[in-house]
């Protein structure tokens, strides 16, 4: 199979999307609406990202699933709409991703979102937000950059919200966040310290873990795979599971959808990023998975995380 990049219309939104395919057969779909990766499949055609089964959402609202980009605000931490406006905008292909060299790989694309007069009414700052998506065997890399193109300093918070596709949230273990401090959004943002060795789920979770290690493992025994999030320039990590009660009031979640997803986000929330005029910030994450058999012991997170 040849590596290919295609521009087609997404049937549920009508907005163009780019399909990246890789010679091994893995693929990714990136919607220009929201600059959002909406699908990532491995070479066995297994979907690694959750996407709501009820395609209720139409622009100007983000799709429930994939990897929305939260900018210039994560969550409810400021006066803007929840998770900022970038995920609800039409992005464009970026012909000039400088200073990153133009991508040589066909399994890669560059997108850009520039501030408009409309955005300036709610957030009065001039910016360019860029996203490079790179597909490789067993790996999906997202590099995001924000440039201050105005004449005043600005600050922002940011996240790549990863809706991971999992077997059942109550069977999942998240490793790499133990002993860390976190803000709990279900307790009015109060700070706690993680006491458990591995995080497991038996109810709604909405937290931001602070200053985490660069690698986090999401261990799914039933699917026999471990998803690893590696990040740079994004010191925090958010965990979100709406569980059944909250999922009932979110129209895009149907039936037991909430069980099949867990958000493990690469984020910069605790300390907002400050950019002077002409400065650029870069944050990067790499998602990869290790297929494994429980009995072979390959799910041992210490092996995956390289402790």
Q: Which residues bind ligand BG6 (CB under 6 A)?
A: 75-76, 82-83, 185, 206, 238, 240
Closest to ligand BG6 by CB, 76 or 116: 76
Chain position carrying tokens 């999922």: 247
Q: What token pair was written down for 302?
A: 């210490």
CB of 182 to ligand BG6, least distance (A): 12
Closest to ligand BG6 by CB, 39 or 126: 39
The single-letter DSSP state of residue 307 is -
CB of 86 to ligand BG6, least distance (A): 13
Closest to ligand BG6 by CB, 82 or 153: 82
The separation between CA 207 and the C-alpha centre of its own chain, rounded to angstroms, equals 15
- Count H helices, E strands: the chain? 3, 20
CB of 79 to ligand BG6, least distance (A): 15
The separation between CA 222 and the C-alpha centre of its own chain, rounded to angstroms, equals 23
CB of 241 to ligand BG6, least distance (A): 10
Closest to ligand BG6 by CB, 61 or 224: 61
As beta bridge partners, residue 152 has none
Closest to ligand BG6 by CB, 271 or 291: 271
Judge whether 111 and 131 are in contact, CB under 8 Å.
yes
d(CA 228, CA 217): 5
Closest to ligand BG6 by CB, 3 or 88: 88
CA nearest to 247, candidates 284, 206, 288: 206
d(CA 38, CA 158): 19
d(CA 226, CA 218): 6
Give me the half-sphere count of Cα atoms (radius 13 Å) on the Cβ side of residue 229. Answer: 33
Question: Which residues, at least 6 apart from 199, have a Cβ–Cβ distance to it below 8 Å?
Answer: 173, 174, 175, 177, 178, 205, 239
Question: Which residues, at least 6 apart from 108, have a Cβ–Cβ distance to it below 8 Å?
Answer: 20, 132, 133, 134, 135
CB of 238 to ligand BG6, least distance (A): 6
Closest to ligand BG6 by CB, 74 or 91: 74
d(CA 209, CA 234): 11
CB of 19 to ligand BG6, least distance (A): 24
CB of 245 to ligand BG6, least distance (A): 12
Closest to ligand BG6 by CB, 31 or 275: 31
CB of 250 to ligand BG6, least distance (A): 6
């Amino acid at each position: 199979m040849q590596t290919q990049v295609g521009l087609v219309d997404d049937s549920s939104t009508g907005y163009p999307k780019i399909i990246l395919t890789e010679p091994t057969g893995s693929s990714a779909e990136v919607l220009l609406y929201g600059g959002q990766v909406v699908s990532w499949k491995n070479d066995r055609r297994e979907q690694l990202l959750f996407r709501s089964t009820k395609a209720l959402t139409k622009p100007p609202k983000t799709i429930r699933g994939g990897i929305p980009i939260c900018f210039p605000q994560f969550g409810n931490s400021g006066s803007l709409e929840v998770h900022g406006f970038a995920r609800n905008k039409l992005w464009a292909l970026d012909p000039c991703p400088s200073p990153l060299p133009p991508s040589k790989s066909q399994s890669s694309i560059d997108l850009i979102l520039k501030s408009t007069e409309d955005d300036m009414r709610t957030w009065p700052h001039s910016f360019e937000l860029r996203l490079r998506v790179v597909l490789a065997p067993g790996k999906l890399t997202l590099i995001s950059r924000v440039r201050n193109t105005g004449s005043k300093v600005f600050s922002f918070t940011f996240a790549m919200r990863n809706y991971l596709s999992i077997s059942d949230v109550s069977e999942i273990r998240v490793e790499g966040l133990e002993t860390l401090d976190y803000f709990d959004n279900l307790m009015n943002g109060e700070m706690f310290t993680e006491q458990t060795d591995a995080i497991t789920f038996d109810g709604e979770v909405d937290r931001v873990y602070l200053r985490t290690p660069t690698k986090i493992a999401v261990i799914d025994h039933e699917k026999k795979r471990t998803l690893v999030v590696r990040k740079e320039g994004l010191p925090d990590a958010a965990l979100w599971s709406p569980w059944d009660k909250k999922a009932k009031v979110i129209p895009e979640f149907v039936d037991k959808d909430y069980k099949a997803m867990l958000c493990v986000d690469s984020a910069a929330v605790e300390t907002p990023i400050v950019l002077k005029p002409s400065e650029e910030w870069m944050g990067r994450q790499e998602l990869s998975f290790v297929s494994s058999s429980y009995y072979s012991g390959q799910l041992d997170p210490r092996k995956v995380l390289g402790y």
